[in-house]
């Protein structure tokens, strides 16, 4: 594709930004669909966030993804916020709609779609989420929207676990409790076990957030990590023949949801997945 005076600019802002796969995904999608657009990464420090967002308006940048540490602090600079983004208090996608900046959260919708695609039924299920950060919040919101019966939030810092479970109970009609890692031993059975911590992510691949005897109690296991494709945590699930999925589908679905918000069309998820699998990320 030639870059010319009509080329649309999209991008991602965060700090640091070096390891994001979003430029690869979106540029590949633009190319496949023959769209005259490019997607670049912008390393934006906290103190420059306001200027960066004003720059989006001034330069007519068409859309942005937002990542750590700006997902929450960006909200005050936007003109409209979607329901999901309001619910979790975080934005990962901005659309420049003729000068009005709209904030969305496709981490939540991308997570929900990944479960639907794998025919995982959440209705009435008990879930345990490991972690209580931004990713865990998106996961908890997605599970609650899909009708989970109860959610245990297990985190190293119990204060953060309690904070997230209170947020869930306040926004949905379901039970939620913050628990410590030691408390996991007391649970007999876990319908859904989801790792939303960064433990096991490349390059520290020889660690799991929990021991294999706890994983063995689960009926379904999900790791939102996609690099490596099979974490040590997921290898425990495999050992006990428990159904599991990794974070690649959530990544591709959240990217596709952002793409649809910006362009009005879906990209071909299979092509993007195959493209990513061939890359050494």
Residues that contact ligand ATR, how many (by CB under 6 A)? 15
CA distance 156 to 158: 6
Structure tokens at 41: 């990464």
In the bound state, the residue with its beta carbon closest to ligand ATR is 133
Residue 133 assigned ligand-binding role: yes
3-state DSSP call for residue 134? helix
Dig out the tokens for 12 from the structure: 């991602």
CB under 6 A: which stretch of 32-40, 109-117, 193-201, 271-279 binds ligand ATR?
193-201
Q: Which of 74, 136, 140, 215 binds ligand ATR (CB under 6 A)?
A: 136
Q: What are the contacts of 140-144 at 24+ separation with CB within 8 A?
A: 140/164, 140/167, 140/168, 140/176, 141/84, 141/87, 141/88, 141/108, 141/168, 141/171, 142/108, 142/109, 142/111, 142/112, 142/115, 143/192, 143/194, 144/168, 144/171, 144/172, 144/174
Does residue 197 belong to the site contacting ligand ATR (CB under 6 A)?
yes
Q: What is the pattern of x (binds ligand ATR, CB under 6 A) and - over residues 38-77?
A: ------------------------------x---------
Question: Known catalytic residue: 71?
Answer: yes
Task: Name the minimum Å distance from CB 160 to ligand ATR.
Answer: 5
Confirm whether residue 135 is marked as ligand binding. Answer: yes
Place of tokens 């425990």: 236
- The two tokens of residue 259 are 């793409």
| Candidates 45, 50, 62, 71; catalytic one | 71
* Residue whose CB is less far from ligand ATR, 22 or 28: 22
Residue 102's beta-bridge partner residues?
Answer: 80, 95
Of 11, 14, 131, 142, which lies in the binding site for ligand ATR, with binding defined by CB under 6 A? 131
Residue 142 near ligand ATR by CB under 6 A: no
Closest CA to 35 of 63, 59, 54: 63
CA-to-CA dists, residue 57 to 9, 77, 264, 272, 275, angstroms: 12, 11, 20, 29, 32
46 is in an annotated binding site: no
8 A C-beta contact, residue 233 and residue 245: no
Interface with ligand ATR, residue 13, by CB under 6 A: no
Residue of 149, 160, 175, 177 interacting with ligand ATR (CB under 6 A)? 160
Is the Cβ–Cβ distance between 126 and 148 less than 8 Å?
yes
Min dist CB 60 to ligand ATR, Å, is 29
Q: Residues 230-269: x/- map of binding to ligand ATR (CB under 6 A)?
A: ----------------------------------------
| Angle separating helix axes 134-145 and 158-171, nearest 10 degrees | 30
Question: What minimum distance in Å lies between the beta carbon of 176 and ligand ATR?
Answer: 15
Catalytic residues: 71
Binding footprint of ligand ATR on the chain (CB under 6 A): 68, 131-136, 155-157, 160, 197-199, 209
């Amino acid at each position: 594709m030639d870059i010319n005076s009509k080329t649309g600019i999209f991008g991602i802002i965060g700090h640091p930004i070096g390891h994001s796969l979003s430029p690869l995904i979106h540029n590949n999608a633009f190319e496949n669909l023959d769209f005259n657009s490019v997607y670049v990464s912008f390393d934006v420090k906290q103190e420059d966030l306001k200027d960066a967002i004003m720059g989006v308006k001034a330069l007519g940048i068409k859309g942005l993804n937002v990542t750590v540490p700006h997902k929450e602090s960006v909200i005050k600079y936007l003109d409209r916020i979607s329901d999901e983004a309001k619910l979790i208090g975080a934005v990962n996608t901005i659309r420049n709609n003729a000068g009005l900046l709209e904030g969305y959260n496709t981490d939540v919708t991308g997570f929900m779609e990944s479960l639907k695609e794998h025919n995982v039924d959440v209705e009435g299920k008990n879930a345990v989420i490991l972690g209580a950060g931004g990713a865990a919040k998106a996961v908890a919101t997605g599970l609650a929207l899909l009708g989970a019966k109860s959610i245990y939030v297990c985190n190293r810092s119990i204060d953060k676990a309690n904070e997230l479970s209170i947020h869930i109970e306040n926004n949905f009609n379901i039970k939620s409790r913050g628990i410590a890692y030691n408390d996991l031993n007391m649970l007999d059975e876990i319908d859904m076990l989801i790792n939303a911590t960064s433990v096991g992510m490349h390059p520290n691949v020889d660690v799991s957030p929990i021991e294999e005897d706890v994983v063995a109690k689960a009926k379904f296991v999900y790791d939102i990590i996609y690099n490596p494709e099979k974490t040590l945590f997921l290898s425990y699930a495999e050992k006990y023949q428990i159904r599991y999925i990794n974070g690649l589908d959530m990544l591709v679905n959240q990217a596709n949801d952002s793409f649809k918000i910006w362009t009005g069309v879906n990209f071909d998820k299979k092509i993007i997945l195959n493209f990513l699998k061939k890359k050494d990320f």
